[in-house]
Structure 1
Amino acid sequence: MTNWWQVVWGTARAEFSDLGSAADVTQVLMRLGLALILGGILGFEREMSRRDAGMRTHMMVSVGAALFVVVPLQAGFSQDNMSRVLQGLVSGVGFLGAGAIIKLSAEREVRGLTTAASLWLSAGVGVAAGLGREATAILSVAIALAILSSARLFKSREGEEK
């Protein structure tokens, strides 16, 4: 008769076997870590622009999106099933981004669209990192930073001309 501790230990070990090797742990750490760093970069830019959704929010969105991709990959999801995961993720992040948009009725002005878009992009960066498309994720953040900084330059020049 086996000791019940052996049964408990064996069951617990089996439950935590999704990262069975050092290579598996390294891969997941690199993908989630890159998502965290890149999301943080986007969020830092938003914080420096004094926007509501900053570093922590962008990091959480990016890491969350990467996790929603890494786990199905580990589980061996088919391409069809992964497509459904991505559809749900994009819709969910769109809902989150809607919370960043504020309509100021007195001024007939809408604020937060760029932050909402950067949250959506942060999710896309997380997906790219989670799928192991690190170079694509990095390039996407570089392009986003170029867009955000160049748009700010044009906006400040327009203010100087008036």
Structure 2
Amino acid sequence: MDWTLQLLVLRDAALAMLLGGAVGFERELKNRPAGFRTHMLVGGAAALLVGLGQLVITDHRLDSVQHLTMDPLRLVEAVIAGVSFIGAGTIFARRGSQVVVGITTAASILMVAVIGVMCGFRYHLLATLATVLALIVLTLIAWVERRIPSNGDPGAKSG
């Protein structure tokens, strides 16, 4: 197998980790359950899984395997299923309270996984712009929400 293809997959994973790290840094600054390293690893793992799937399809050593096919959406499903467990671990309900925390962090982990998938498929511009959008949601919109008077709903700001 051509090692340059493997380096391309590694480059895509590095970009996914960089972009995931940007989102994770914002979560880290807010002291959320999943921060910088977690987001980096989720983005990188997603990109690596997608890239590995593409490498396997082009690997001529597997030509003897009859009818080897790959549905790219299956790779995406696998990434999302794995990330769901991590996201669920960041969501906590406080006893005796209706407040649930960690939903935004779980959503940011999902977003980083999707960004990683984009990097794995080499949609680098789309991944970068999606990261910018995620950061806008996590920073600018959160800033606006803090300035809007609360309606007394304890679950309204779930962070």
TM-score normalised over the length of structure 1: 0.80
Of 19, 23, 33, the residue aligned with 1:52 is 33
Q: How many residues align?
A: 141
Q: What residue number does 1:124 align with? A: 114
Aligned to 1:42: 23
Runs of 4+ residues over 4 Å off in structure 1 = none
Q: Greater share of helix residues, 1 or 2?
A: 1
Once the two structures are TM-superposed, the CA of residue 84 in structure 1 deviates from its matched residue by: 1.8
User: Is 1:108 the equivalent of 2:98?
Assistant: yes
Q: Distance in 2 between matches of 1:55 and 1:159?
A: 30
Question: In percent, how many aligned pairs have the same letter?
Answer: 35
Letter in 1 for 2:29: M
Unaligned runs of 5+ in 1: 1-17
Please state how far the C-alpha of 1:132 moved relative to its aligned partner: 0.6
Give the match's secondary structure for 2:93: strand
The reply on whether 1:67 has 2:57 as its aligned counterpart is no
5+ residue gaps, structure 2, are 58-67, 153-159
The alignment partner of 2:90 has SS state of coil
Q: CA RMSD in A?
A: 1.9
Aligned mates of 1:152, 1:111 — CA distance in 2: 15
- TM-score computed with the length of structure 2 as normaliser: 0.81
1-structure distance, mates of 2:128, 2:10: 16
Distance in 2 separating the partners of 1:91 and 1:121: 13
